[in-house]
Amino acid sequence: MSDSPNLGTETASRVIVTGASGAVGRHVADRLAHLDDFGEVIGLDRVAGDGVIAFELERDDLAAQCRPGDVIVHLAGTPVRFAGDGAAAKADLLLAERVFDAAAESGVAQVVIASSAMVYGAWPDNPLPLTEAAPVRPNPEFRFGHVRAEIEVMGEAWADDTGGTLTILRAATVLARGRENGLAVLLRDSAAVRLAEGDAPAQFVHAEDFAHAVEVVVVGRHGGVFNVAADGWLRAAELEALRGTPPNPLRVPAFVLSAVSDARRRLGATTHPGITPYLQHPWVVANDRLRSLGWEPEFSNEEAYVSGSAPSRFDGVTAKRRQELALGIAGALLAGTGIGVVALVRWLIRRR
């Protein structure tokens, strides 16, 4: 895969955006469509909309939509709330395979893929922040990170075989105005019961800033890996203040949280046991490389979070009552599994 920061200034005649009806895809397609650099922007999605063609990427012929020299921006994927499901992992890999096969068949010049900062993994020895030179080592149990890493490898093989330009955007949690992101919901719901060992810092990027990143790498034909995130990050107390959640939530050891998370998932909650390390250890990224191309985030972490989050159920509730409600909810979740906190901890300790 070429890692050149600039592979030329020639602009593409057309850009094809998969997943163009999604919360992020709409921002990307709209931003590109308003530029003079492209003759046409083609939005594809299973849900047709304003300027978006109904298209089933799993079955329809993407190569027929492409021409030599085109750019594909691949955003389509299964909802992140299914991140722990094997079926979702297979589906996302299939979609990426079809994109790269079509790109090879039709002579596409550049493919831009939306990856995730989660491919770096959440580890206690991670530097703050991580640069693009950090190793890719997603945590073992969290399929979402592994799938993103596999798609990156798939793209590198395409670039090596065809000489095309591969651009990988490793984004922090992307938030769109007025619509909660599945990953943000997964992280928030998984943190309903908190870790005694501590909390990972949080980092976000607004969908408009992500769309600007796509514009920069497509217009400039920039290949390689770029982290996409707001400047800096939020500490746990800062995020709690934004959420309006209690400052002293119930805390349990990490191995207990994994078991609780698994039980809550079986009851229908949006969570997954493999996400526990991402709640505990840092995985925030530096955006210097993307900034060197002229990109600047318009939204801070705080602004992105507030813009992309639904109102909290704690809005308008006193601090004391918020804490009572949070502890009550956590206790109810544990009781719903048929086992109390004390019994669960004792049982898990015996098993260890």
pLDDT tens for residues 291-350?
Answer: 999 999 999 999 999 888 755 443 333 333 434 444 444 444 444 444 444 444 444 444
- Cis previous bond, 129, omega within 30: yes
Tell me, what's the pLDDT at 157?
Answer: 98
Tell me, what's the pLDDT at 315?
Answer: 39
226, β-bridge pairs: 169
Of 44-58, 117-131, 154-168, the poorest mean pLDDT is in: 44-58
234, β-bridge pairs: 202
Question: What is the Cα–Cα distance from 324 to 327, expressed in whole angstroms?
Answer: 5
Tell me, what's the pLDDT at 268?
Answer: 58
Question: What is the Cα–Cα distance from 290 to 272, expressed in whole angstroms?
Answer: 31
Question: What is the Cα–Cα distance from 215 to 28, expressed in whole angstroms?
Answer: 8
Confidence of residue 88 (pLDDT cuts 50, 70, 90): confident
Q: Which of the two residues, 160 and 275, has the higher pLDDT score?
A: 160
Report the 10 Å Cβ neighbour count for 79. 14
Query: What's the mean per-residue pLDDT of the chain?
Result: 81
Please name the fold of domain 14-237+279-307: Rossmann fold (3.40.50)
Taking residues 208-216, report their average pLDDT.
98
Global confidence as pTM: 0.81
Question: What is the Cα–Cα distance from 174 to 180, expressed in whole angstroms?
Answer: 9
Question: What is the Cα–Cα distance from 297 to 263, expressed in whole angstroms?
Answer: 38
**Phi (first) and psi of residue 41, to 5 degrees:** -120, 120
Percent of the chain with pLDDT over 70: 69
**DSSP letter string, 2-59:** ---S---SPPPSEEEEETTTSHHHHHHHHHHHT-SS-SEEEEEESS-BTTEEE--TTT
Question: What is the Cα–Cα distance from 352 to 340, expressed in whole angstroms?
Answer: 18
Report the 10 Å Cβ neighbour count for 138. 25
**Phi (first) and psi of residue 254, to 5 degrees:** -60, -40
CA of 149: how far to CAs of 14, 115, 117, 143, 198, in Å?
27, 8, 10, 10, 27
Confidence of residue 271 (pLDDT cuts 50, 70, 90): low
CA of 155: how far to CAs of 101, 159, 326, in Å?
10, 6, 44
Question: What is the Cα–Cα distance from 342 to 331, expressed in whole angstroms?
Answer: 11
Report the 10 Å Cβ neighbour count for 96. 25
Q: State which H helix or E strand residue 212 sits in.
A: helix 207-219
pLDDT tens for residues 242-266?
Answer: 877 655 556 656 555 566 566 655 6
pLDDT tens for residues 145-195?
Answer: 999 999 999 999 999 999 999 999 999 999 998 666 667 766 766 555 555
Tell me, what's the pLDDT at 111?
Answer: 98
